[in-house]
Amino acid sequence: MIRLLGYFFGIGAVLFLLVAGGIAWYVEGMAKDLPDYQVLADYEPPVTTRVHAADGALMAEYAKERRLFLPIQAVPALVKNAFLSAEDKNFYTHPGVDVEGIGRAVLMQIKGGPLQGGSTITQQVAKNFLLTNERTYDRKIKEAILSLRIEQAYSKDRILELYLNEIYLGLGSYGIAAASLSYFDKAVNELTIDEAAYLAALPKAPENYNPFRSKDAAVARRNWVIDQMVSNRFVSAEDGAAAKERPLAINPRASGLYLAASQYFTEDVRREIIQRYGVKALYEGGLSVRTTLDPKLQSEALAALRRGLVDFDQARGYRGPVKTIDIGSDWGKPLGEVPALADVPEWRLAVVLGVETGGASIGLQPARTVSGALGSDREVGRIDLSDMKWALRLNTATRKGGVRGADDVLSRGDVVYVEKKGEGDSYRLRQPPKVQGALVSMEPRTGRVLAMVGGFSFSESEFNRASQAYRQPGSSFKPFVYAAALDNGYTPASVVLDAPISLPDGNGGFWTPSNYGGGSAGPSTLRLGIEKSRNLMTVRLAKDMGMELVAEYAERFGIYDKLGRYLPMALGAGETTVLRMVSAYSVIANGGRSLEPSMIDRVQDRYGRTIYRHDERRCATCNEPSFENQPEPELVDERDQVLDPMTAYQITSMMEGVVQRGTATILKELGVPVAGKTGTTNDEKDAWFVGFTPDLVTGVYMGYDNPQPMGHGSTGGGLAAPIFLDFMRDALKGKPPVDFNVPEGMELIAVNRKTGMRAGEGGSDSIMEAFKPGTGPSDSYDVIGMDAVAASDTRREVSPEASQAIVQGAGGLF
């Protein structure tokens, strides 16, 4: 019997050794092809890039996986304990593998059930970072081996940090920091017990516990986590019970863009970041971008431009409804399917339910719930005839002209835009303008773009007319022609002939430019030429200097990369952008220093290191540890001087005259020193005004995307200047007036407005003019162009390229 027992024992021992050897051989084979867990040491997860305004307000976030990396030291104990209770309560004591959990999973499989988890947090890290999601024994064994190795190489806190930042928690959020914002619009240190427990309930299956589609399951799972936290003594029974009684109060954070007014600006910043660092850096690099945007000025700029566009558009009449729908038994459903302008929140879509001569009853588009479903409430209102009088002028494809009643304009089922009128249920009729425009406002000393609006609505059109639309600037280009003259021997009192002129057009005919409205004033000073925007004077001045010089200055200011050397270009026939024009005017406003326009102040990488800074001025003593009566620190500006500071003041003074006596007198209302120039192109297709105070330069453009006449009288002074006024009125509110700085050495001398010769101070026909040292009013009456009226005007041949420029448009009317 003993022998038999020994025999069986020997067989058992051999079998045991064989099985153990087989297992060892199998495990060794599994271990050979395992991924290198050392890569976890250099783990850099894809992190959200965040774009901020100058005041720190969040403008936008960009990410393929919305994630904000959070060091373990910054994770509150409440949040850590919630996840430990839900996922791995023995995390800080086990070696990486929970033997009991694995045994439970194997037993379930033997009984014919599904393959269970039983994974520790370390195993989940191994799976998420190094393995696939396949549910097999091979993968589980590899996971266990890697977990043991990871535990030997890294601290428990580092493993937990990796886990809490990597896991997917639904709503497009990766990691606890992003999920806390997505579900509750809170930082993790603001979460309550019930909120932390809900986030901890999600790792297993976020979609199964979706708070909108599976609310009951989500609450049940959250409460189970709370019970585990109580069982593990992480929270008291009283606090746990109170947490379970709270509703699942989800408060989703809006994703993507947060300052709706800044969308055109933000999109340009996005493109610049991609150009500098690449797509991957933007969507995965976790960059922190501090922009130059001033949110207050941006909102004012958007409002001013929209008011100007709407006023112009409404004066042209009503073009018809957005669309027409079948009202049926529930008008809310078809109306809810019509896309609205998301970035014009004060306007709402509505459907006409009934209409009579005196007005219309309307149903407003239902709001959507946080889950995206159409709301069940049906809100109604009314448009009175007095709130749609502008629409009594019809401008539809089938009917034009005036009508008398609302029922001549609207029909039942018409979908239109409306804007609430104070309290009650009264609304105004609105329509998105067909005409477009742009506004850019810049800090002249630094080139920082403080506000940029590229159109009426980014939702309607993402094309940025401030930076992407190349249009003729018209007469707003003239100051650079005059600046070139002033920089090369002319003075503001130089006299040029304002009289008809004809030049060969290269096709056997003649180009005969004219002043806006016709007529001419005879010999006039350069100042008068700017103030009254005289085309004939500008052509003669450019001809006298030579277009080579004019083009050189235009390129030096950055208005054009290369300007054709043709006289029509002196009237603004070349195409450029609002941003370029504002940058060029900023050079004049800052005293002639070159600048590079910038929408980004600073870029930091995911670790907070500054990798780009716009301001490159040096300051040797700015970081002194203490002040001991040494001189104040000085910023050394090494930018090029592209225009004589005295010339810059002269042309500024002349453009002040545009506001005081010229084509933009509407701006005198501001009551502060303002300089600027209007611009209108042939057939009134484009209207411009670019102007500035000592501290702010702003440019406004208006025109159709497909260039077409805007109507007689649609000038820069009549369309763009009022928008400039509307914006600057708010921008300058509460700020004291600042005079333009007169450079040291300049002499102010009284001259006759008409002749440019010395005059007595205080006379009705005199004006104080600024002269550079060694210059002054002419002692003799010399008129540029007078000797060429009969002869030289028709001598010069024009190239085919110039001919094309002439035929397509001379620009620069007013």
Residue 10 has pLDDT above 60, yes or no: yes
CA distance 649 to 265: 31
The 3-class SS string of 9-47 reads HHHHHHHHHHHHHHHHHHHHHHHHCCCCHHHHHHCCCCE
DSSP-derived secondary structure letter, 454:
-
Rg, the chain, Cα only: 36
Q: What is the pLDDT of residues 200-223, one digit of tens each?
A: 999 988 999 999 889 999 999 999
What residues contact residue 65 under an 8 Å CB cut-off, 6+ apart?
45, 46, 172, 174, 284
CB 193 within 8 A of CB 86: no
User: Which pLDDT does position 791 carry in this prediction?
Assistant: 44
Q: Which of 19-23, 429-433, 503-507, 695-699 has the lowest mean pLDDT?
A: 19-23
CA distance 685 to 812: 11
Neighbour-count burial of 733, counting CB atoms closer than 10 A to its CB (0-12 exposed, 13-18 middle, 19+ buried): exposed
Question: What phi, psi does 676 have (nearest 5°)?
Answer: 175, 180
CA distance 413 to 432: 19
The closest alpha carbon to 345, from 302, 380, 382, belongs to 302
Q: What is the pLDDT of residues 727-749, one digit of tens each?
A: 999 999 999 999 999 999 999 99
Report percent pLDDT > 70 for the chain: 87
User: Which pLDDT does position 5 carry in this prediction?
Assistant: 61
Q: What is the pLDDT of residues 571-583, one digit of tens each?
A: 999 999 999 999 9
The closest alpha carbon to 131, from 120, 121, 143, 119, belongs to 143
DSSP-derived secondary structure letter, 116:
P
What residues contact residue 326 under an 8 Å CB cut-off, 6+ apart?
334, 413
Beta strand 173-174 pairing with 66-67: parallel
The closest alpha carbon to 647, from 750, 773, 473, belongs to 773
Q: What is the pLDDT of residues 66-113, one digit of tens each?
A: 898 899 999 999 999 999 999 999 899 888 777 766 666 666 666 655
What residues contact residue 287 under an 8 Å CB cut-off, 6+ apart?
49, 50, 273, 277, 281, 603, 604, 605, 606
CA distance 688 to 439: 10
Residue 395 has pLDDT above 80, yes or no: yes
- Which is more confidently placed, 695 or 3? 695
Residue 333 has pLDDT above 80, yes or no: yes
Q: Which of 121-125, 158-162, 331-335, 467-471 has the lowest mean pLDDT?
A: 121-125
CB 385 within 8 A of CB 357: yes
Beta strands in 357-458 (DSSP E): 359-364, 379-384, 393-395, 400-402, 414-420, 427-430, 436-443, 448-453
- Which is more confidently placed, 255 or 704? 704
Mean pLDDT, the chain, rounded, equals 88
689, 693, 695, 699: CA torsion to nearest 10: 0
Residue 474 has pLDDT above 90, yes or no: yes
Residue 328 zone, left/alpha/beta (φ > 0; ψ -120 to 50; rest): left
**Cα dihedral sign, 71-72-78-84:** positive
User: Which pLDDT does position 803 carry in this prediction?
Assistant: 41
Q: What is the pLDDT of residues 124-138, one digit of tens each?
A: 887 777 655 565 555
User: Which pLDDT does position 795 carry in this prediction?
Assistant: 37
Neighbour-count burial of 510, counting CB atoms closer than 10 A to its CB (0-12 exposed, 13-18 middle, 19+ buried): middle
Q: Which of 33-42, 308-317, 413-422, 706-715 has the lowest mean pLDDT?
A: 33-42
Q: What is the pLDDT of residues 344-379, one digit of tens each?
A: 999 999 999 999 999 999 999 998 876 677 778 899
CB 347 within 8 A of CB 419: yes
User: Which pLDDT does position 3 carry in this prediction?
Assistant: 63
The closest alpha carbon to 327, from 366, 358, 363, 379, belongs to 363
Q: Give CA separation, 25 vs 17, 139, 140, 445, 483, in Å.
A: 12, 16, 16, 74, 87
User: Which pLDDT does position 111 carry in this prediction?
Assistant: 62
CA distance 129 to 146: 11
- Would you name the residues annotated as active-site residues? 87, 475
User: Which pLDDT does position 466 carry in this prediction?
Assistant: 98
Residue 779 has pLDDT above 60, yes or no: yes
For the chain, how many residues are written? 814
CA distance 724 to 688: 10
Neighbour-count burial of 256, counting CB atoms closer than 10 A to its CB (0-12 exposed, 13-18 middle, 19+ buried): exposed
User: Which pLDDT does position 810 carry in this prediction?
Assistant: 43
CB 171 within 8 A of CB 54: no
Q: Which residue has the tokens 């022998």?
A: 3
List the structure tokens of 356. Answer: 């009579």
DSSP secondary structure string for all residues of 570-639: GGT-S-B-HHHHHHHHHHHHTTSB----BSEEEEE-TTS-EEEES---B-TTTT-SS-SSPPPP--B---
What is the band of 408 on the pLDDT scale with cuts at 50, 70, 90? very high
- Which is more confidently placed, 125 or 275? 275
List the structure tokens of 430. Answer: 């609105």
What is the band of 625 on the pLDDT scale with cuts at 50, 70, 90? confident
DSSP-derived secondary structure letter, 72:
G
List the structure tokens of 249. Answer: 């109060």
Tell me the mean pLDDT in the region 479-486: 98
User: Which pLDDT does position 154 carry in this prediction?
Assistant: 87
Q: What is the pLDDT of residues 565-624, one digit of tens each?
A: 999 999 999 999 999 999 999 999 999 999 999 999 999 999 899 999 998 777 777 777
DSSP-derived secondary structure letter, 385:
G
CA distance 584 to 579: 9
User: Which pLDDT does position 179 carry in this prediction?
Assistant: 95
What is the band of 437 on the pLDDT scale with cuts at 50, 70, 90? very high
Residue 674 has pLDDT above 80, yes or no: yes
The closest alpha carbon to 577, from 365, 320, 264, belongs to 264
CB 659 within 8 A of CB 665: yes
Residue 23 has pLDDT above 80, yes or no: no
Q: What's the distance, CA 159 to chain centroid?
A: 39
Number of other CB atoms surrounding residue 608 within 10 Å = 7
Tell me the mean pLDDT in the region 532-547: 95
User: Which pLDDT does position 811 carry in this prediction?
Assistant: 45
User: Which residue type, as a one-letter code, is found at position 729?
Assistant: R
Helix (H) or strand (E) holding 362: strand 359-364
What is the band of 147 on the pLDDT scale with cuts at 50, 70, 90? confident
- How many angstroms separate the first and last alpha carbons of the chain? 122
